Structure formats: C-alpha cells, structure tokens
C-alpha cells in the first residue's frame, strides 16, 4: 500500500517543490536547470541501485524516486516552455495535479513481465514498457543483447531516457492544450 501511495504522490510533491524552486528564474534557465538536474540525478540513482542491491528496499525506493523526479522535471520543462499561460495560482495547481496524468505510464513501466536472471530481454522490451517512445528504442537498439540480472545498467539508462522523453511529450501536449484553451478564452 505504501508503494502505491509513493508512486501516486511523490511525482506531484516533487513537481510542486521544483516549480517553487525555479519559478522566479527566466524560462531558459528553468529548462536548463531541469535538464541538468535530470542528467545529474540519473547516474547517482543508478549507482545507488547497483551498489545497494542486497539491501531489500533501497533500490526500490531509489527507482521510484528517480521516476518521480523524471516526471517532476518534465512538468517543469513543459511549464517553462508554455510560460505565463496560467495565473500563479493556476500554475501551482497544475504543478501538483498534472503529474497524475503520468500514472498509467509509470504503472506500465514498473509492472513488467517477470524476467528470469540469465534470460535475454525480449526484442520488444522497450515497446512493452513505453507507449510513445518504446517502438523507436526497440528500432535503434537490440534489446535482446541485454541479459536480465547482469551488472550492466545500459538497459536501465535507455529505459529511463525513453521514459523521460515520453513523459515530456505528454506534458508538452497537456500544457499546449492549456495554452490553446487560454488563447480561445482571451479571444472571446
């Protein structure tokens, strides 16, 4: 039950914290900082996941936090791209509520078919986990070269960046829709 709450609430809380931390900066700085934070947190999280794999809950909590942080960075970048389309109160509400849209994507990525250690990944490994970008990652990588249970984190890195791109696309569509609605409302 706690894992479920963590998956639901952590992206929204981190998104709200990141929004308040970056809201007074210019648009380009907000985008740059969010991308830089994403690139900084990924290696740190992967080190923790690989170093503490014998401690039961550390890798799971780190993986969930990395997923939540990815969603928060995607929301922050999208809000910076479509700057000033909502009031400050509306932006705060959006920063908290919009990450809930990512929940089906998170569930699809986290709840995966069981992999047996030593088994090769299926050829459509990324396509099974990522709706929008998985087919492209399957096309440009040979996921069957990865073996479950190996020390290589290449598949996790590719999966994470595919997830980041997927959530960023979804958030840009959502905030583009918000801009379309506000523009229509202003023209009335």
The domain limits of the chain are 2-186
Which pLDDT belongs to residue 25? Answer: 83
Give dist(CA 127, CA 122) in Å, integer: 10
The rounded distance, in Å, linking the Cα atoms of 23 and 133 is 29
Q: What confidence tens digit (pLDDT) does each residue in 85-139 have?
A: 888 888 888 888 899 898 888 888 777 666 666 667 777 777 778 888 888 888 7
Residue 163 has pLDDT above 70, yes or no: yes
Buried b (16+ CB within 10 A) or exposed e, 35-67: eebbeebbeebbebbeeeeeeeeebebbbbbbb
Band of the pLDDT at 152, cuts 50, 70, 90?
Answer: low
Grade residue 169 by pLDDT with cuts at 50, 70 and 90.
very high
């Amino acid at each position: 039950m706690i894992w479920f709450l963590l998956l639901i609430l952590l992206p929204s809380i981190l998104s709200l914290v990141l929004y308040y931390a970056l809201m007074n900066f210019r648009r380009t700085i907000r985008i740059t900082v969010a991308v830089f934070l994403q690139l900084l947190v990924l290696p740190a999280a992967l080190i923790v996941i690989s170093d503490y794999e014998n401690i039961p809950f550390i890798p799971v909590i780190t993986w969930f936090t990395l997923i939540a942080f990815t969603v928060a960075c995607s929301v922050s970048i999208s809000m910076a791209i479509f700057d000033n389309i909502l009031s400050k109160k509306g932006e705060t509400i959006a920063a908290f509520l919009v990450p809930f849209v990512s929940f089906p994507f998170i569930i699809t990525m986290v709840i995966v078919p069981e992999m047996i250690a030593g088994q090769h990944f299926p050829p459509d490994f990324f396509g099974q986990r990522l709706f929008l970008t998985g087919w492209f990652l399957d096309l440009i990588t040979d996921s069957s070269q990865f073996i479950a249970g190996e020390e290589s984190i290449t598949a996790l890195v590719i999966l994470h960046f595919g997830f980041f791109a997927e959530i960023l696309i979804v958030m840009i569509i959502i905030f583009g829709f918000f801009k379309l609605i506000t523009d229509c409302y202003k023209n009335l």
